[in-house]
């Protein structure tokens, strides 16, 4: 099928997203963590629910996706044959990295969980920039620009995406509507599982560029999914990283999209 037709079909498959509604009350959660940033939440458990947003101007601003790009990057690698399946092992070359989880053999599952950059650097080399650009354009992923002078294009290059665009991409993945094999989309969603209980599943991915960090994903409920995309500034670098999940979880609990943790038993 011609690429243009594929793109048109993909665009037509996009669900209609209701207009945004600013949530000024969510500023409290950011202030509690002394954080500056944005979050977009789209709760599809209720029909025609508008997307809620804190800091709408920033929600429309594009940033490097950092390791949240591992979600589409995994799909690209599977489609291009850069990885066979979740069982293929990528041997560690012995080069020491600052994070201990990177200093070992990897599979897709551990590479996603540990955000193992060297595995995805190998995927990027295998795929090449021209093919990566074609994939990104087909996905309509942010500015779809994988060019870079030095480093990894999803961290150090020109590739950028907004929180609003992250939500749209996640909606398509949830519905298996991305232009990739359904079995590959299902595998990536399985790799994204962070936490699960009897009636809900949290699928998400962190990202950190150095100056700012992401947490994007969704919570699946029987009534429907609740999508979220947060990014915050991280002036204190690693000391700020916990704030990504802390703020998001607090907001999701506020709208009953995540249960309140039970008190610890003595």
Catalytic residues: 67
> Which of 174, 217, 177, 209 is closest to 193 using CA atoms?
217
3-state secondary structure 198-237: CCEEEEEEEEECCCEEEEEEEEEECCEEEEEEEEEECCCH
Tokens at residue 245, please? 């999940």
> 79, 179 in Cβ contact below 8 A?
no
């Amino acid at each position: 099928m011609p690429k243009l037709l594929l793109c048109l079909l993909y665009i037509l498959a996009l669900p209609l997203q209701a207009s945004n509604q600013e949530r000024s009350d969510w500023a409290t959660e950011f202030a509690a963590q002394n954080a500056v940033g944005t979050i977009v939440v789209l709760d599809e458990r209720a029909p025609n629910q508008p997307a809620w947003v804190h800091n709408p101007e920033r929600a429309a601003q594009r940033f490097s996706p950092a390791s949240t790009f591992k979600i589409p990057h995994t799909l690209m690698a599977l489609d291009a044959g850069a990885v066979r399946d979740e069982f293929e092992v990528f041997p560690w070359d012995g080069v020491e990295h600052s994070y201990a989880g990177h200093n070992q053999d990897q599979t897709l599952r551990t590479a996603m969980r540990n955000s193992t950059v060297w595995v995805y650097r190998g995927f990027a080399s295998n795929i090449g920039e021209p093919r990566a650009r074609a994939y990104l354009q087909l996905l309509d992923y942010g500015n779809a620009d994988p060019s870079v002078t030095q480093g990894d294009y999803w961290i150090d290059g020109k590739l950028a995406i907004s929180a609003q665009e992250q939500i749209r991409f996640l909606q398509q993945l949830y519905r298996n509507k991305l232009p990739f094999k359904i079995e590959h989309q299902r595998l990536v969603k399985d790799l994204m599982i962070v936490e699960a209980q009897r009636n809900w599943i949290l699928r998400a991915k962190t990202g950190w560029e150095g100056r700012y960090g992401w947490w994007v994903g969704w919570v699946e409920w029987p009534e429907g999914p609740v999508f979220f995309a947060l990014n915050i500034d991280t002036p204190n670098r690693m000391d700020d990283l916990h704030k990504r999940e802390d703020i998001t979880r607090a907001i999701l609990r506020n709208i009953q999209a995540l249960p309140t943790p039970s008190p610890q038993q003595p």
